[in-house]
Structure formats: structure tokens, C-alpha cells
Amino acid sequence: MWLSTVKETSGTDFVVDWQPFSLTQVNSKEGEDWKVWEQPGALDGTDNTLLAHRAGLAAKRQGQEAFESFFMSLLKARHEDKKDLNDRAVIDEAVAVSGIDAGRFREDLMDPELLKELGESHTRAVEEHGAFGVPTYVFPSGHAAFIKMFIPPAEEAVEMFDSLMKVGADLKYLGEIKRPQPPWPHGVI
């Protein structure tokens, strides 16, 4: 959510190509051949584990502006209102708030090709970028980094963005930075 603050504050117009990555798949104990997007419940829509991913891909079909509005609605539902993104009512509310075409969204949401796209996105993230968690950012330089953070205050958003771009995109010899826990994030949240 802080990236929207960066855009507003800095006037910089950049596009983030958000791609689905399944933590359910990463954390599965089922073995390498098991794929969450190939399971019967995912295929017939009775298992909502991948609902938010499918919803994001369905919203993307309505264009970048529609997707960004929908995605921001989802982020607010999850991170501000602490709502469950596996709940269809939460997704429907995000559709209404974002103003995207609800009829088209419902139709696209049921397209089985979304699961194929999700699987391809997840596999690409793991195989090409070594992704293991979210959010993993892939920078224009091709370098990737998992970045765990809390939303900085608005007055620090641009500086944080610029610093992360420098560290994540340019400093190729930096392998890992991790703050001991506790005390972090003491005093941050």
C-alpha cells in the first residue's frame, strides 16, 4: 500500500506488474508433484484458497487502472480491515468499491485459464527468481529480493522506496539483511 503513497508523494509514475505467488504451494508438505492450482477444489471453485489470486487475474483483464483500483481495495480489506481474502463476500465488496465491471469480473473469475496463469506465474517466480515468499520484488535490473517491512509514515515513503530500489536493484553483492526479532519492530508499529 505504501507504493501508492510513493506515487502520490513523488509524482513518479511507475507500474508494478503484480503476479500471483501461492504461499499454500510453497508451504505444502505434499511433495514436489502436488500443485494447489491442480487440485479438484481449485478446479471446481469449491476451495477458495486461491480466490484472491484468481480475483486479481480476473481484474487484470479489465486493464491496469481497473486492476490497481481493485488491488488497492483488496489490500485495504486485508491489511486495514483484517478481512479474509478467501471469503467471496470480501472479494465482492472489493469489486463494488473499486468500480470494476462486476458482470465481466464474475465471468472472468470462473475461467479455468486463471489457474493455469497462476501456476505459470508461481513456477516462473520460483525457477527464474528464487522466490520463496511474498512480497518478492523483481527489479528492472533483473535482481529479485524478498522484502519484509512495515508501511512507513507518508513522509518517509519516498526515501524508503529510493533506498529499496538502490539496495534491491543495484547492490548485487548484498545477499541478506535481517533484523533480529525481537526487538524489531519495537517502536515501529
**Is it the case that residue 71 has pLDDT exceeding 80?**
yes
Structural domain containing residue 8 = 2-170
Q: Which amino acid is at 37?
A: W
Whether residue 181 lies inside any domain: the answer is: no
pLDDT band of 16, cuts 50, 70, 90: confident
What mean pLDDT is reported for the chain?
Answer: 91
Return the axis-axis angle of helices 51-60 and 88-98, rounded to nearest 10°: 20
**pLDDT computed for residue 111 by the predictor:** 95
- Distance between CA atoms of residues 59 and 104, nearest Å: 9
**Is it the case that residue 57 has pLDDT exceeding 70?**
yes
Q: pLDDT tens-digit profile of 132-168? A: 999 999 988 888 999 888 889 999 999 999 998 888 8
Whether residue 166 lies inside any domain: the answer is: yes
Q: Whole-prediction pTM value? A: 0.89
Whether residue 86 lies inside any domain: the answer is: yes
**Is it the case that residue 49 has pLDDT exceeding 70?**
yes
**Is it the case that residue 189 has pLDDT exceeding 70?**
no
Q: pLDDT tens-digit profile of 79-88? A: 999 999 999 9
pLDDT band of 182, cuts 50, 70, 90: confident
pLDDT band of 175, cuts 50, 70, 90: confident
Whether residue 93 lies inside any domain: the answer is: yes
- In 72-138, DSSP assigns E strands to 136-138
- Distance between CA atoms of residues 103 and 94, nearest Å: 14
How far, in Å, are 20, 58, 65, 75, 148 from residue 103 at the CA level? 23, 11, 17, 22, 36
144 membership: H or E segment, kind and range = strand 144-146
**pLDDT computed for residue 84 by the predictor:** 97
Give the residue from 135, 146, 152, 159 showing the smallest Cα distance to 187. Answer: 152
**pLDDT computed for residue 150 by the predictor:** 84
Whether residue 46 lies inside any domain: the answer is: yes
- Residue 108: which CATH number? 1.10.472.60
| pLDDT average, residue stretch 105-113 | 95
Give the residue from 112, 108, 117 showing the smallest Cα distance to 70. Answer: 108
> What is the DSSP secondary-structure string of 29-82?
-S-TT--GGGSHHHHHT--GGGHHHHHHHHHHTT-HHHHHHHHHHHHIIIIIS-
Tally of domains within the chain: 1
Q: Which residues pair with 138 in a beta bridge?
A: 144
- Distance between CA atoms of residues 146 and 142, nearest Å: 13
